[in-house]
Amino acid sequence: MLGFSILAALVAAGSIDAESAADQQVRDAIKAPDLTVVHLWAPWCSNCQTELKNGGWLKMAKENPKTKFIFVSVWNNGNDGRSMLERFGLTNQPNVTITAHPGPRSGEGKIKQFAGLPLSWIPTTWVYKGGDLRYALNYGEVRFPVLQQFLEDSESEWSHKGEPKLEE
């Protein structure tokens, strides 16, 4: 009983991060065999706003209907930013999921990792296939032609079989 009381006190004090529902939702989604793009963002972030304003995210979702896009609002006190995403046409895309981490923008509760990966900047964009992280864009605005290339590369099958080996 004492052990449980200590654990409960540590969780309440924030010493042990309990996994959020958004964390679990993303961890479950990225296990799928298809491509999943996880985009960590916040409505107050000017870089995130720029990505939305140029229409790149809407175009990506429309041009890649088999790819799942998960928009995770972070450092935003649990607000998912749905109203901003709605203004840019993303809420009605069948391959877009919107969720939020409950943590604040600063202070003790600000998360420093999400779904097992470090998080130090937004926007951050990760590309997964079959549970494997294929690409991580961790520091700033995504260039959508580059992201499109990453999606195409993630779908391709390649091997080094038959290639000459380097001599040591």
**pLDDT one-digit tens code per residue, 105-154:** 999 889 999 999 999 999 999 999 999 999 999 988 899 999 999 999 99
What's the chain's average pLDDT? 88
| Residue 77 confidence (pLDDT) above 80 | yes
> In whole angstroms, what separates CA 98 from the centre of its chain?
10
pLDDT of res. 159: 62
Tens-place pLDDT, residues 157-167? 766 667 787 88
pLDDT of res. 75: 96
Note whether 126 and 133 are within 8 A (CB): yes
pLDDT of res. 160: 64
Q: Hey, what are 39's tokens?
A: 């985009």
One-letter identity of residue 76: N
Q: Smallest Cα–Cα separation from 40: which of 93, 117, 147, 106?
A: 117
Note whether 39 and 137 are within 8 A (CB): no
Mean pLDDT of 72-98: 97
Q: What are φ and ψ of residue 11, in 5° steps?
A: -65, -45
Q: Give the Cα separation of 24 and 156 in Å (integer).
A: 28
Mean pLDDT of 33-54: 96
